[in-house]
Structure 1
Amino acid sequence: MRVTIEDLPLLHRQGKKLGVTSVCSAHPLVLKAALRHGRDTGTTVLIEATCNQVNHLGGYTGMTPSDFAAMVETLAVTEQCPKDLIVLGGDHLGPNPWKDRDAEEAMGQAQAMVDAYVRAGFRKIHLDASMGCKGEPIALDDHTIAERAARLAGVAERAAAESGGASPIYIIGTEVPPPGGANHALDAITPTGPVAARQTHAIHAKAFQSAGIEDAFSRAIGLVVQPGVEFGNQNVIFYDRVKAHALAATLSELPPLIFEAHSTDYQGQGPLRELVEDGFAILKVGPELTFKLREALYALDLIASDMVPDYGERPLYHAMEELMCGAAKNWQSHYHGSDDEKRVLRHYSYSDRIRYYWASAQARTACDRLFKMLKGRKVPATLFHQHMPSAAAWADLDCDGEEIVIGRVRQSIETYERACGT
């Protein structure tokens, strides 16, 4: 069943508990899996990029919003996914990448970024100006956050009008887990309180009105709140709907809205379905998908080591270890403990900081070699059962490593879609 993100608030009010999966990744194989799933099922393919990942200056991927949109368009053609199924979103759009600068300078960069996103065809815009800039508190007060969000929305409205694009749909609210998961073990997460949720909506409504963009606020369909889910490096906090009951009930006291749930990775179908039923109708997932990608790549690395004489002993694993140790900035503040403990975390943490390295030339070369060495070989079922039982259906067929990886990622996407009821 095709559900658009605009449909979600009314559907929830009508008692139709449906949702949309938001795929937050820039990895081509993850995106291929999402687009292929959309092609085969006719469901909405919501793909989002974050402010740190993709921005007008390149972000850590080196891509601008127009670059990212072009990549998705090219992959969609390859996967034969209809263009009208695809929605591009921008996540946490605000001054976060420049928060070490004065507020006006950081907001100037954020405005340029939002302008670039909207002109590139991104339609779902999450406004997040919650972080303090140079000389400000780490967490800002609600009124400052809302005023800055409205300022960014004004930029988005002008960009859409000038470029002739569709009017943006907004997600407001900022009470979310740390992007990419927590960097320590967690025992529990407290859901957002009902009063805080109502206050967030009311203050944003007033800020948009003061900025003269009430029409833009009428397209704010979602509120980001903390439902009580999170993952750390080695554990997951699962959704407890009893604890979130008061928050979920708040939706009936607000204009037609839904909640957007961040960091839903690793929850599994049962908790995800409960989230959707309780009004968390946009489920964001990212690290889980690249975790599954890494899991499949490393399994194929082991299979090739076992069956291809000239391949070597886990060369992909060793290439990634060398790469991460040589450029530690993307994981060193997240992983702690002894050298052995950090080595395990580098490769197998739920926070999946290894995802920052797959785009490097060294990683791409190692993956390409892996796929080439296995291409066309018939892998016996016994090896799949040893290293990757979920791919046992590929036994004794001409091996295509890329297809196996895409299939493994797609299994997670299918779990989300079942939870969404579509």
Structure 2
Amino acid sequence: MRVSVIGCGYLGAVHAASMAHLGHEVVGVDVDVAKVEQLAGGEAPFYEPGLPELLASSLATGRLRFTTDIAEAAGAQVHFVCVGTPQKKGEYAADLRYVDAAVQGLLPHLRPGDVVVGKSTVPVGTTERIAEEVTATQAGATVVWNPEFLREGFAVQDTLHPDRIVYGLPDGEAGARARELLDEVYATPIAEGIPVVVTDRATAQLVKVAANSFLATKISFINAMAELCEATGADVTQLADAIGYDARIGRRFLNAGLGFGGGCLPKDIRAFMARAGELGVDQALSFLREVDSINMRRRVRTVDLVREVCDGSIVGRRVAVLGAAFKPDSDDIRDSPALSVAAQMGLQGAHVVVTDPQALDNAERMWPDLRYAATADEAAKEADVVLLATEWPEYRDLDPEVFGQVVARKVIVDGRNVLDPVAWRRAGWVYRALGRP
């Protein structure tokens, strides 16, 4: 099957390589010349476990190629729109300029029977507007929505073996034909028994933002409980363990700490609120404002906690920050809690040194005023306090006895609640964490 993928950023690059791996003939299109050259050479322009190997194997088959010329998408039966939808500057709403540009670029190359498949996360109602534009130019083409559910660090697995596939289809013959094509595209995962949810386009557009909003709410809930635990002397980790046994709640994502960041959850819940306001139902999502507020308060509280362990002042104190990416197994620093806290401490007079296994280049470009080190030992040399801000395995597995020989003071703030406080205290460290006594 001939497939085009418009936009070869994080989502598009993984999707293009995965579609070729599944046996389709794929052309990936992007306006960024350097990115296209990297991908065509088998080099991933960002860190994602398993992607370099997938790119290499897919390119070797001859079924995958990349280009900057959208005209080369002509002839494909299915066109996936995988461009970014960032938050507008100064607003909560999503910026749809890249989606609109991708569709406008495709219009001259569509044929009757082609299917334009949106994968980008967009405000509900976007698909219907795009469908009007497409049918005005090529009445025989169909627009559907097929939201993505990729987790950074697991994107290849999530594309090749998703936990569900959602089709948002129009009514009638056009929808039936589009489903046939999508079933062919996803024949391999469907054969594995992956559930397929077939729904209308409005519902499909809501699935991703609703899922992200629920996840963000769960994370902020346990962080709100951490605030109560700090006020009462309770232990939020033990609290999470206890309520997590309830099958209705579950233990996953009940880890109190610095909160969420990245390029999806923060901007998606804000765009969701903005769209609800446009639809006149803003009160339905007013709770997301507090979810967002709790999340941001965790960053401020972390700085306060570092100040507390530094006897009330971080001015002139050397602080080692372990982690720059917003999560492990990624080099993504968008809205990174780790870098946000590091920058706040730097502005308040601390000598901050940041380290990360993969995200240092991105961090240095975005935050050039911070200092950086290649390893945890280098960052923590003569440190007054260490802050674990991103739960990379190499930081979780640090030996507190050995690591204690590097620092000036054995003081650690566990911003992710992933270390064993007993082991660290036994090694002579002052151990503090959000929501724990």
TM-score of the superposition, structure 2-length normalised?
A: 0.29
- Give the structure with the higher percent helix: 1
